[in-house]
């Protein structure tokens, strides 16, 4: 692991142990990959864009860095690591209250749609297949950080009739019953909620929820909306289907029983 010139006294002893003492700055990216050439290329490109970078060559080292310091602003995470899978690292981050909001971009040679879907279900904010364009990756990073900063500017809690959403804590309740959502489902819900009353096409949702130019089909949006509605139970019909167009978040009239397909 090599230190970014923007970090203070960050030193790698070897691939398994890290010695560091730094103040993480806004725009710090953690690179988790055992391919040193790729890490060096990404570090060079990111630092040219003004980001600070730190790196770890396996999952345990990555979790150690995050656990013993101020969390990075984003994690670029390889799926295939020497000691554990990137999926396990992502799952660990999402299970901790301290790290669950850190954006994660999963990087993998696995290019099948099922692999991308699994990555998103685990809570990845984006999924990039190898080989990839570094320029496109930088655009994805910028888009995710901009989206996260935009979410931070919104109020911490939002309530619409029976539905209550804690944006800071990533928690959702229907009445007083907590609803367990994946990171992707939560992002889908809050995107629709923030644009209440406005139609969102499937293409718009793919771009804003899944990430720009992500290679999944619009049918993926339909599948996740169906799952989200099912989890929301009696308020699932707040999400209205406009056939052939997309979706819209609406609050029904009191006593209404409208259901959406």
Q: What CA–CA distances, in Å, run from 251 to 81, 160, 226, 258?
A: 45, 7, 17, 10
> What is the Cα–Cα distance from 189 to 236, expressed in whole angstroms?
10
pTM of the model: 0.56
Q: Phi and psi for 226 in degrees, rounded to 5?
A: -60, -45
Burial label for 146, CB within 10 Å (0-12, 13-18, 19+), is: exposed
- Per-residue pLDDT tens for 157-202? 788 889 999 887 788 999 989 999 988 899 899 989 888 877 888 8
Mean pLDDT of 71-100: 88
Q: Which of 190, 155, 163 is nearest to 179 (CA)?
A: 163
Nearest to 204 by CA among 257, 245, 261: 245
Q: 65-68 — which CB contacts under 8 Å span 24+ positions?
A: 65/18, 65/20, 65/30, 66/30, 66/93, 66/99, 66/102
What percent of the chain lies above the pLDDT cut of 70?
79
Tokens found for residue 226: 């169906």
Distance CA 227, CA 144 (A): 23
């Amino acid at each position: 692991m090599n230190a970014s010139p923007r970090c203070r006294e960050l030193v790698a002893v070897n691939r398994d142990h890290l010695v560091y003492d730094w103040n993480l700055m806004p725009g710090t990216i953690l690179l988790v990959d055992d391919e040193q050439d790729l890490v060096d290329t990404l570090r060079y490109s990111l630092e040219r864009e003004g980001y600070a970078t730190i790196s770890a060559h396996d999952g345990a080292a990555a979790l150690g860095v995050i656990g013993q310091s101020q969390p990075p602003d984003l994690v670029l995470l390889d799926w295939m690591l020497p000691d554990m899978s990137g999926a396990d690292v992502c799952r660990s981050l999402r299970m901790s209250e301290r790290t669950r909001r850190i954006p994660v971009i999963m990087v993998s040679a696995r290019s099948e749609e099922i692999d991308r879907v699994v990555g998103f279900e685990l809570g990845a904010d984006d999924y990039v297949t190898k080989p990839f364009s570094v320029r496109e990756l930088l655009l994805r990073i910028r888009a995710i950080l901009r989206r996260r900063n935009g979410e931070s500017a919104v109020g911490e809690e939002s309530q619409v009739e029976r539905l209550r959403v804690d944006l800071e804590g990533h928690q959702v309740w229907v009445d007083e019953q907590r609803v367990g959502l994946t990171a992707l489902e939560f992002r889908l819900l809050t995107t629709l909620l923030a644009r209440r009353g406005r139609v969102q096409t499937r293409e718009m949702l793919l771009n804003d929820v899944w990430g720009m130019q992500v290679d999944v089909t619009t049918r993926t949006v339909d599948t996740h909306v169906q799952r989200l509605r099912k989890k929301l139970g009696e308020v699932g019909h707040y999400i209205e289907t406009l056939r052939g167009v997309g979706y819209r978040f609406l609050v029904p009239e009191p006593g209404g029983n409208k259901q959406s397909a």
